[in-house]
């Protein structure tokens, strides 16, 4: 029993450090701009690059994960992140800084997907959804460390000292992962596979409706939240709705800490009602969509209570993305879980990359290159998220229909809501 928690804790420590590196430029953007003598707009392209690399690396990392196991992938990912952050600390030119963020994105891509592979091997199936939510929620410690640890260190000791210290800490985490993490309670026998077999397995995984449903759930729940957190949320709240920097920061804090409520709730509901997982995810998606429609429909800046509702709806999207991983876990063989999770996890990050670029391009076009935007310009640009929601919602319904057809052929039938509720009501009356 204790061993599983040691393995989980060591893997989680690597994920927390990955989140620290992911958030480092977000909290130290001004320091980065000063160090590289660049504008904040140039520094912000690091975020887009890292998100794109993170998303595009998921399937290759998943393939390697199925071949080599979580222990090796976590250790290698931590070392790649350490190299990237060390290069960023030592670099004085932008070209090397971009290379550094590519390395950080590649290493970051190895972490959560590896934890998702460890969970079903070390924990009972009934706990798997809750453990996935727990890992996602506790990773917030990395963001807090970036804010309250890395940023003060950079401000006190300088850019190079702060980032090289973070890189050194990551090397320690890599050694810890290699020492403590094990792929499974018993040794896992691995066989070399031909390239043709790998390609066929990848195609079969991509075609499986469980993988596709997981992808669209992850995409729909998370793309808007990621774009809001990583790029456009703070300026949107301040410029479009007139919030002060303090008030906007509190909204971001609320978005982060709301996971204390949403993550365990969604995890427990996913475990207790496995046949209704997609409905739970759709509830989260529709909440985000409706909140955006309500805010964007306002002809003037939205009242604070409505902005609060939007922030809470987006906050639920983070834990909601984890529902997507539950479909590959239950519908695909363990040998394809790494690739499948890689496809799923790319959803929200590919969506966020498209959203960030789309909003940025729209603002550039309607403002004529201005650095501060009007309420109307923000309203138009942020409304471009609504068609992206439509794509995701349509994908969920189509993939769910295909998956339920396959389940029905295997003898697993999802009863209509009316029948399910009636059965539960009759069962309670007999007690």
pLDDT tier, 289 (very low <50, low <70, confident <90, very high otherwise) = very high
Mean pLDDT of 55-77: 89
Where do you find CATH 1.20.1250.20 in the chain?
A: 1-183, 202-410
| pTM (predicted TM-score) | 0.78
Mean pLDDT of 257-268: 81
Mean pLDDT of 190-208: 65
Residues of the chain above pLDDT 70, percent: 89
Contact call for residues 353 and 51 (beta carbons, < 8 A): yes
Kindly list the distances between the CA atom of residue 416 and the CA atoms of 278, 325, 421, in Å, as whole numbers in the listed order.
Answer: 14, 24, 9
Q: In whole angstroms, what separates CA 424 from the centre of its chain?
A: 35
CB-hemisphere CA count at 13 Å for 22?
Answer: 30
pLDDT tier, 409 (very low <50, low <70, confident <90, very high otherwise) = confident
Q: Which CATH architecture has domain 1-183?
A: Up-down Bundle (1.20)
Nearest CA to 337 out of 67, 54, 31 is that of 67
User: What are 315-344's pLDDT values in tens digits?
Assistant: 999 889 989 888 888 888 777 777 888 888
- pLDDT higher than 50, residue 421: no
Non-local (6+) Cβ contacts of 51 within 8 A are 105, 226, 230, 349, 352, 353, 356
Kindly list the distances between the CA atom of residue 172 and the CA atoms of 73, 150, 389, in Å, as whole numbers in the listed order.
Answer: 16, 16, 41
Nearest CA to 217 out of 128, 318, 304 is that of 318
Contact call for residues 46 and 98 (beta carbons, < 8 A): yes
Contact call for residues 247 and 372 (beta carbons, < 8 A): no
Please give the pLDDT value at position 345.
85
* Assigned token pair, 391: 């794509």
Handedness of CA 400, 406, 412, 415 (dihedral sign): positive
User: What are 200-225's pLDDT values in tens digits?
Assistant: 666 878 888 999 999 999 999 999 99
Please give the pLDDT value at position 380.
94
Contact call for residues 329 and 120 (beta carbons, < 8 A): yes
Q: Is 418 helix (H, G, I), strand (E, B) or coil?
A: helix
C-alpha to C-alpha distance for 395 and 388, rounded to whole angstroms: 11
Non-local (6+) Cβ contacts of 37 within 8 A are none
**Average confidence score pLDDT of the chain:** 85
User: What are 107-152's pLDDT values in tens digits?
Assistant: 999 998 899 889 888 888 888 888 888 888 788 788 778 878 888 8
Nearest CA to 250 out of 260, 261, 262, 238 is that of 238
* Letter string b/e over residues 308-346, b meaning 16 or more CB atoms within 10 A of that residue's CB: ebbbbbbbbbbbbbbbbbbbbbebbeeebbbbbbbbbbb
Q: Which range is most confident: 88-92, 202-206, 290-294? A: 290-294
Any idea what DSSP says for residue 109? T
C-alpha to C-alpha distance for 375 and 366, rounded to whole angstroms: 12
CATH code, residues 202-410: 1.20.1250.20
Higher pLDDT, 183 or 197: 183
C-alpha to C-alpha distance for 57 and 64, rounded to whole angstroms: 11
User: What are 338-395's pLDDT values in tens digits?
Assistant: 788 888 888 888 898 889 888 888 888 888 877 788 999 999 999 999 999 999 999 9
Please give the pLDDT value at position 12.
94
């Amino acid at each position: 029993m204790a061993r599983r928690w040691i393995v989980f804790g060591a893997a989680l420590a690597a994920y927390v450090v990955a989140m620290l590196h992911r958030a480092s430029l977000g909290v130290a953007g001004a320091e980065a701009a000063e160090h590289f003598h660049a504008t904040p707009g140039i520094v912000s392209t690091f975020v887009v690059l890292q998100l794109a690399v993170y998303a595009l690396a998921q399937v290759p990392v998943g393939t390697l994960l199925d071949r080599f196991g979580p222990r090796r992938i976590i250790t290698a990912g931590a070392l790649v992140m350490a190299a990237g952050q060390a290069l960023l600390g030592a670099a004085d030119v932008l070209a090397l800084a971009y290379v550094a963020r590519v390395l950080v994105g590649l290493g970051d891509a190895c972490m959560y997907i590896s934890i998702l592979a460890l969970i079903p091997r070390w924990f009972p199936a009934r706990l798997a959804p809750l453990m996935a939510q727990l890992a996602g929620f506790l990773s917030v410690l990395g963001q807090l460390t970036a804010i309250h640890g890395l940023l003060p260190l950079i401000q006190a000791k300088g850019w190079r000292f702060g980032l090289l210290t973070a890189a050194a800490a990551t090397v320690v985490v890599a050694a810890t992962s290699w020492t403590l993490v094990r792929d499974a309670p018993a040794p896992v026998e691995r066989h070399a596979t031909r390239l043709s077999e790998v390609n066929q397995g990848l195609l079969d995984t991509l075609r499986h409706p469980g993988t596709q449903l997981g992808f669209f759930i992850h995409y729909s729940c998370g793309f808007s939240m990621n774009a809001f957190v990583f790029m456009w949320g703070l300026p949107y709240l301040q410029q479009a709705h007139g919030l002060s920097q303090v008030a906007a920061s509190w909204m971001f804090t609320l978005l982060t800490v709301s996971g204390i409520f949403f993550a365990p709730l969604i995890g427990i509901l996913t475990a207790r009602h496995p046949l209704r997982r997609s409905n739970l995810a759709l509830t989260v998606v529709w909440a985000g969509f409706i909140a955006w429609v309500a805010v964007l429909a306002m002809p003037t800046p939205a009242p604070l209570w409505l902005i609060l509702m939007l922030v809470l709806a987006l906050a639920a999207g983070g834990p909601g993305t984890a529902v997507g991983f539950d479909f590959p876990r239950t519908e695909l063989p363990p040998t394809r879980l790494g690739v499948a999770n890689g496809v799923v996890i790319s959803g929200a990050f590919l969506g966020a990359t498209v959203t960030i670029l789309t909003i940025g391009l729209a603002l550039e076009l309607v403002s004529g290159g201005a650095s501060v935007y009007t309420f109307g310009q923000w309203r138009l640009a942020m409304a471009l998220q609504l068609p992206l929601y439509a794509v995701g919602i349509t994908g969920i319904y189509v993939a769910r229909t295909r998956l339920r057809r396959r389940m029905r052929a295997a003898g697993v039938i999802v009863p209509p809501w009316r029948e399910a509720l009636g059965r539960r009501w009759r069962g309670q009356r007999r007690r």
